[in-house]
Amino acid sequence: MRPSVRHFLRLSDWSPAALTSLLDAARQLKRQPTPRSQPLRGQVLGLLFQKPSMRTRVSFEVGMLQLGGQALYLGPQDLQWGVREPIKDVARVLSRYVDGIVVRTFAHNDVEAFAQYATVPVINGLSDLTHPCQALGDLLTIREHLGRLRGVRVAYIGDGNNVLHALLEGCALMGLPLTYATPRGCAPQPAVVSVARRLAQRTGVRVVGSHDPRQAVRGADVVYTDVWTSMGQEAHAQRRRRAFRGFTLSPALLAHARRQALIMHCLPAHRGEEITDEAMESRRAVIFDQAENRLHAQKALLVRLLKRG
């Protein structure tokens, strides 16, 4: 890998200053979606998706078009790394064809392997460990609605999954105290929590975990949830519904948060499970702003990583 190549694999790899710069650039790109300069004119982004996604695919494809470039999609049927050929060969070949690679896969080790052998920037479009592009869009949304990040109290209710992992790192880096509540047996990975707490010490905030949703949302400025059953866990859906009883983000649970607390969800949502229809449609919900801000945040990231000169 060339020393000058930089990747976006997890938020903890970046500094608060670098993330702030990305958010500033995303805000500017939101104001001017199609820059006259076309900073990525003539460049091609490879989208390698072992996991399908509407939002991630469309936001990256539209983002490249608005920046003057193009995107090339390879879906699960096109990708058989580890079967037909090793990841290190795929990464090195694709680096000869495209200017950047987005990898959306199951094992985070696959994303790390791509980054190790690719000679172009690699972006983690989602792995089972973390979802940094989502968290980047979430931070943009919080700052947009509340005017700041530092000191904003975030509560996460639900599964200790890749979305929570990304939020843990992002909030700790940017100075947002975070409290999460998960059912027993569904806590985030201890190694990720440990990383987040080390980062939080530097920014002077706390990361607190519990199993009590009401306690977690108390005094929160932002209440966040996600699906109880992630992609690949469908066989355990019924068991997980039983484990998550009492964790539905509803008006009754939101009553324990601050009166004007923002409601967030990374989508897709299973209305009636992790969130009620009433909460989804509340004036306090910024869920669709989150979805839009994925586009702007990722465009800022693409310009930072792919722009030449």
Q: How far is CA 308 from CA 38, 100, 132, in A?
A: 12, 12, 23
| Catalytically annotated residue among 153, 294, 296, 298 | 294
Burial-class residue 223 by CB neighbours within 10 Å (0-12, 13-18, 19+). Answer: buried
Does the annotation count 96 as an active-site position? no
294 is catalytic: yes
Catalytic residue among 50, 134, 290, 298: 134
Annotated catalytic residue, options 226, 240, 290, 298? 226
DSSP letter for each residue of 238-302:
HHHHHHTTT--B-HHHHTTS-TT-EEEE-S---BTTTB-HHHHTSTTB-HHHHHHHHHHHHHHHH
- Three-state SS for 55? helix
Task: Clarify whether 290 is annotated catalytic.
Answer: no
Q: How does DSSP assign 151-192, residue by residue? A: T--EEEES--SHHHHHHHHHHHHHT--EEEE--TT-PPPHHH
Q: Is 128 an annotated catalytic residue? A: no
User: Exactly one of 7, 131, 153, 265 is catalytic; which is it?
Assistant: 131
Catalytic residue list contains 236: no
Q: Which of 7, 104, 165, 296 is catalytic?
A: 104
User: Is residue 226 among the annotated active site residues?
Assistant: yes
Catalytic residue among 133, 171, 186, 266: 266
Six-digit token string for 238:
């019924």
Which residues does the annotation mark as catalytic?
104, 131, 134, 226, 266, 294
